[in-house]
Amino acid sequence: MAWISYTGGDLAAFEAAYPEAVVVVSENDVARAALDFDDRTCRINVRAIEHQKVTEYRALTLDTAERLKAGVAAFGKKRLELSYMDSSYGEHSASCPHLIGTERTAAISRANEVDGYTLTVTESTTAWSGAVSGEYVEYSFTGAGSATMGDVSVSWGHSA
């Protein structure tokens, strides 16, 4: 079998040139608790859905795998800064680091004994329905309630 020796562009260009070498191994949605804050005056809960996708780029030379791996943007998640104003207890703030956006990791593995390699790219995305720019996303609220912004659900209120 001939291994793919590619010196062109990024992963998207590779996918267009060699679609038969690209295999989506899995796609999963993972629900997680990002924050359970309760200081006995107020509570803030944050739940998020992460969309995870694992893609393999197969039948590569080592040089091609290394070149494609170098082009994978590894980290793009931003923190969510929460601000809760309560007339009785003042302002409370909390932070959910590395929550919103996309994170990619890449790993090269040897596929066989005759110098074939596989690049595995794992992508994790949590979307926010509002504007996302800068180093973090801000969300402020008062009273008691809940809201869903894309893949992130926030609830808040007085502690029981």
- pLDDT for 40 equals 87
| DSSP secondary structure of the chain | -PPB---SS-HHHHHHH-GGGEEEEEEEEEEEEEEEEE-SSEEEEEEEEEEEEEEEEEEE-HHHHHHHHHTS--EEEEEEEEEEEETTTEEEEEEEEEEEEEEEEEEEEE-STTS-EEEEEEEEEE--SS---SSEEEEEEESSEEEEETTEEEEEEE--
Q: How far apart are CA 67 and CA 69, in angstroms?
A: 6
Q: What is the pLDDT along the chain (160 residues), one digit of tens a residue?
A: 589 999 988 899 999 999 999 999 999 999 999 999 988 888 999 999 999 999 999 999 999 999 999 989 777 899 999 998 877 778 888 999 999 999 999 999 998 888 899 999 999 999 999 877 788 898 998 888 999 999 999 999 887 6
Instruction: Give residue limits of the domains in the chain.
Output: 11-158
Looking at residue 136, what is its pLDDT? Answer: 86
pLDDT at residue number 60: 96
Identify the pLDDT of residue 1.
Answer: 56
Q: In the prediction, which pLDDT does 127 show?
A: 95
User: Distance between alpha carbon 84 and the CA centroid of its chain, in Å?
Assistant: 25
146 token code pair: 């809940």
- Confidence at residue 158, expressed as pLDDT on a 0 to 100 scale: 82
156 Cβ contact list (under 8 Å, min separation 6): 42, 43, 44, 45, 84, 141, 144, 145, 146
